[in-house]
Amino acid sequence: MARLERQTDLLSQYFKTSGLPTQWCSGCGCGIVSQALIRAIHRTGIQPERFAFVTGIGCNGFIPRYLNFNELHVTHGRAPAYATGLKLARPDLEVILIQGDGDCAAIGGNHFIHAARRNINLTAIVSNNFIYGRTGGQYGPTTFQGDYATTAPYGLIEPAFDLCKLAEAAGATYVARGTVYHALQLIQIIEKGIEHRGFSFIEVITQCPTNYGRRNREKMGATGVEMMRWQKEHAVSVEKARTMSDEELKDKIVIGTFVDKDRPEYTEQYAALRERVLKEVH
């Protein structure tokens, strides 16, 4: 099929007829994540019927509702498990996971690290707003130490996960981080993640004014604009971070590509194993 002419072809009929206003709160970053994703997919030139989205529970689970792709909306934390099954059954598909930080790294942490370990050809886009946004404002695995949440009314005493370091340690072969403020860079990161052959992990720093901002307004501000300004002021590139001390990097968000390497991909290895076993049996 010919390359799609318009990015709007990737929007669902639901969005075009009754999708506005969206189901996201005012100031939420999910809309920017959606736009970056659409633009990245369009730039790859891959036809939409070759994509399948697997989404978890949370605000991000609504993203495919506004897009014109096939989708599995699955149980909390289990998106990598469903995506693994789908990819094994249909290795020709470009499978994209859409998760939040809690969905990915808390209840879904075990599935996440093993998908990375296997290096199965999936693209995981994880929006990190530092809190459980849709389910009540509880603290999650990426909530900063000292932050406030419904389940940490006096301040959180636990340290936060660095999701990109976790993905790298688990074996992901493409690891990158962007922010919704740096939208053009985010498009490039997602495009490269989709085209990478192996497990691609993309963390997107985004904002939740409703459940994070109003409880931590002194840190990031309480509105979407203020929180995006915080992203701008606290983000440093991977290249610049290499020249900075640990003290200088305190409270900073390092953005860019951390890992981009080749390693045997799981479905290809599985297909080769299956072919070898069938030959031996017959």
The pLDDT tens digits for 178-225 are 999 999 999 999 999 999 999 999 999 999 999 999 999 999 999 999
Looking at residue 24, its amino acid is W
Q: How far apart are CA 72 and CA 241, in angstroms?
A: 38
pLDDT in the model for residue 19? 75
- Can you read off the two tokens belonging to residue 47? 């036809």
- Is residue 97 very low, low, confident or very high in pLDDT (cuts 50, 70, 90)? very high
Looking at residue 151, its amino acid is T
Sheet holding 122-128, edge to edge: 70-73, 51-55, 94-100, 122-128, 200-205, 174-179, 253-260, 235-237
Q: How far apart are CA 210 and CA 9, in angstroms?
A: 31
Q: Provide long-range contacts, Cβ within 8 A and 24+ apart, for 41-48.
A: 41/10, 41/191, 41/194, 42/4, 42/7, 42/10, 43/187, 43/191, 44/191, 44/194, 44/195, 45/3, 45/4, 46/94, 46/194, 47/1, 47/4, 48/4, 48/9, 48/10
The pLDDT tens digits for 106-129 are 999 999 999 999 999 999 999 999
pLDDT in the model for residue 23? 87
pLDDT in the model for residue 18? 75
HSE-up (13 A, CA, CB side) for residue 266: 24
pLDDT in the model for residue 1? 38
- Can you read off the two tokens belonging to residue 87? 């990819």
The pLDDT tens digits for 74-94 are 999 999 999 999 999 999 999
The pLDDT tens digits for 162-176 are 999 999 999 999 999
Q: How far apart are CA 55 and CA 58, in angstroms?
A: 9
Q: How far apart are CA 223 and CA 31, in angstroms?
A: 15
The pLDDT tens digits for 149-164 are 999 999 999 999 999 9
Q: Does domain 7-281 have CATH number 3.40.50.970?
A: yes
The pLDDT tens digits for 214-253 are 999 999 999 999 999 999 999 999 999 999 999 999 999 9
pLDDT in the model for residue 4? 55
- Is residue 3 very low, low, confident or very high in pLDDT (cuts 50, 70, 90)? low
